[in-house]
Structure 1
Amino acid sequence: MDWKIFLTVLVSVFVAELGDKTQLATMLFAADKEVSKYTVFLAASTALIIASAIGVLAGSMMSEYIDERYLHYVAGVGFIAIGAFTLYNA
């Protein structure tokens, strides 16, 4: 296992998910006193695993047809555009 890649992905996804609507929705479900916190945790974790698996599969398939360098450019431009849009609307 490449620990550098592992830690880079871990930190990137963790920071991106903090305060995200997914985390807020999970907190709302867990706030219900009649709901099992274990069930909420398992359901939310499973959903994130499935969403991540879709991302990995999509990235793997796209990398077969598109040069990795261009995927990095598109991702970079996309993140910059989202950041600019967020700043503009703030």
Structure 2
Amino acid sequence: MAFVLAFDWKVFLTIFASVFIAELGDKTQLATMLFATDKDVSKWMVFASASCALVVASAFGVLAGTFLSGYINEKILAYIAGGSFIVIGLYTIYSA
């Protein structure tokens, strides 16, 4: 489990754009907007809390991906992830 500290803008921007687009309009963003509507709560507190939660969730994702990549081929993981997104999407459409 080696972490390389090299910075690659292409990889950074690809991951940033993918996650940013995936997060737009999802339950996390809607929950954050709901918290921000509370007049008694600092908007900076909402931003800081939501940001920290996303950082920790992303860290779990990186750790899980790193662990799984030691046991499962990267291509198989991509198929599993893609299939999971399709199943979740079909379930969402079916239950709508």
**Fold equivalence (TM over 0.5):** yes
Any residues of structure 2 matched to 1:1-90 within 5 Å, and which?
Answer: 1-90=7-96
Structure 2 gaps, min length 5? 1-6
How many residues end up aligned between the 2 structures? 90
Higher helix share: 1
**Alignment RMSD:** 1.2
Which shows bigger deviation, 8-17 or 76-85?
76-85
Q: Which residue of structure 1 lines up, in the alignment, with residue 3 of structure 2? A: none
TM-score normalized by structure 1?
Answer: 0.91
TM-score normalized by structure 2?
Answer: 0.85
Identity of aligned residues (%): 64
Structure 1 gaps, min length 5? none
CA distance in 2, matches of 1:8, 1:85: 27
Q: Post-superposition shift, 1:77?
A: 1.1
Q: Which has the higher contact order (CA 8 A, sep 6+)?
A: 2
